[in-house]
């Protein structure tokens, strides 16, 4: 767990720098995520793996001044950015919690809803995380998670990862192991949620955009913000790491067109309720 924490602590400043790009592209998908969790004014909401908190802010605006969002993350540095971004947005209904998802220590049945955007598939144990979040939800309350579907549905994410894994001499994560596409296969997330006690489980494929000025910007995003990518080549020496990233850059250039870098992401929203 300490290694995972270090990975995201190191990526925190880069994530905060680039999160506006993801937040813009994911805005509509995040709205669907919030809807599927049944978030309404006045609710107390848990945001797991909140990152720099753009989705926490969307949820906080939805619950309004009478509601509350607890933004939880394993990285203290990420939570610093959440507090800063909440202040800049003029919001006083966001609090932060430094915790791994599976270590949630909040009282039983203390939340009206919970969300997790692009985090569940990277947790060391999604099963334990789901057990923990189910425990802290009130009976009937909903949890919704946004994950990537498959490598075929997300070439801009999958191809650079494959290049970095090859340069690092590593294999893609085995089934059931943490990874970008660990929960995106047919029936995987639905089964996981059902087996871990969630009822009324629904699945919905959504799409989002990733738009930056150039392939060079996309490369910087992966290098600076994407902890999962950084971790793959962290043990390489400078020369080998540079060679790996250079090949990634050549790969990313295929997504440039019309003077900008633009591509689509394919995502899955799974939601379910703690039984009443």
Structure confidence at residue 160 (pLDDT): 97
pLDDT at 4 over 80: no
Structure confidence at residue 256 (pLDDT): 93
Three-state SS annotation for 205-257? EEEEEEEECCHHHHHHHHHHCCHHHHHHCCCCCHHHHHHHHHHHHHHHHHHEE
Q: How far apart are CA 55 and CA 137, in angstroms?
A: 19
Neighbours of 239 (CB within 10 A): 8
pLDDT at 219 over 90: yes
The angle, 0 to 180 degrees and rounded to 10, between the axes of the packed helices 215-224 and 2-25 is 150
Helix (H, G, I), strand (E, B) or coil at 164: helix
Residue 12's H or E segment, with its range, is helix 2-25
Residue 174's alpha-carbon distances to 14, 29, 181, in angstroms, are 28, 28, 11
Question: What confidence category does residue 258 fall into, taking pLDDT thresholds of 50, 70 and 90?
Answer: confident
Structure confidence at residue 9 (pLDDT): 77
pLDDT at 5 over 70: yes
Helices (H), 68-214: 76-88, 126-136, 155-168, 188-195
Q: How far apart are CA 24 and CA 19, in angstroms?
A: 8
Report all structural domains of the chain as residue ranges with CATH numbers, in order of start.
2-150+176-209+267-273 (3.40.50.150)
The angle, 0 to 180 degrees and rounded to 10, between the axes of the packed helices 238-252 and 155-168 is 160
Identify which of 48-52, 138-142, 220-224, 256-260 has the greatest average pLDDT: 138-142
Q: What is the DSSP letter of 102?
A: G
Structure confidence at residue 173 (pLDDT): 84
Residue 8 φ/ψ region, left for φ over 0, alpha for ψ in the -120 to 50 degree band, beta for the rest: alpha
Q: How far apart are CA 211 and CA 25, in angstroms?
A: 7
Question: What confidence category does residue 1 fall into, taking pLDDT thresholds of 50, 70 and 90?
Answer: low
Q: Any idea what the Cα angle at residue 218 is, between residues 232 and 233, rounded to 5°?
A: 15
Query: What is the rounded average pLDDT for all residues in the chain?
Result: 93
The tens digit of pLDDT for each residue in 76-119 reads 999 999 999 999 999 999 999 999 888 887 778 899 999 999 99
Question: What confidence category does residue 275 fall into, taking pLDDT thresholds of 50, 70 and 90?
Answer: very high
């Amino acid at each position: 767990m300490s290694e995972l924490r270090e990975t995201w602590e190191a990526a925190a400043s880069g994530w905060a720098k680039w999160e506006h790009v993801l937040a813009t592209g994911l805005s509509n998908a995040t709205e669907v995520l919030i809807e599927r969790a049944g978030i309404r004014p006045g609710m107390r909401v848990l945001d797991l793996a909140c990152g720099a908190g753009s989705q926490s802010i969307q949820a906080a605006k939805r619950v309004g001044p009478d509601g509350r969002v607890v933004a939880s993350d394993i990285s203290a540095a990420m939570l610093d950015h959440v507090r800063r971004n909440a202040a800049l947005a003029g919001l006083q209904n966001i609090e932060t919690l430094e915790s791994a998802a599976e270590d949630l220590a909040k009282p039983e049945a203390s939340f009206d809803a919970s969300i997790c955007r692009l985090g569940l598939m990277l947790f060391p144990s999604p099963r334990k995380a789901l057990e923990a979040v189910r425990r802290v939800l009130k009976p009937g309350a909903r949890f919704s998670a946004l994950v990537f579907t498959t490598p075929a549905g997300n070439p801009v994410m999958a191809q650079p990862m494959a290049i970095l894994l090859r340069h690092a001499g590593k294999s893609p994560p085995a089934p059931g192991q943490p990874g970008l596409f660990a929960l995106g296969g047919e029936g995987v997330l639905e089964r996981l949620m059902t087996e871990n006690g969630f009822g009324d489980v629904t699945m919905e494929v959504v799409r989002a955009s990733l738009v930056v000025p150039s392939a060079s910007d996309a490369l910087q995003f992966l290098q600076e913000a994407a902890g999962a990518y950084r971790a793959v080549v962290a043990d390489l020496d400078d020369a080998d790491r540079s060679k790996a990233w250079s090949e990634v850059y050549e790969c990313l250039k295929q997504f440039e067109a019309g003077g900008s870098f633009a591509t689509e992401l394919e995502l899955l929203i799974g939601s379910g309720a703690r039984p009443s």
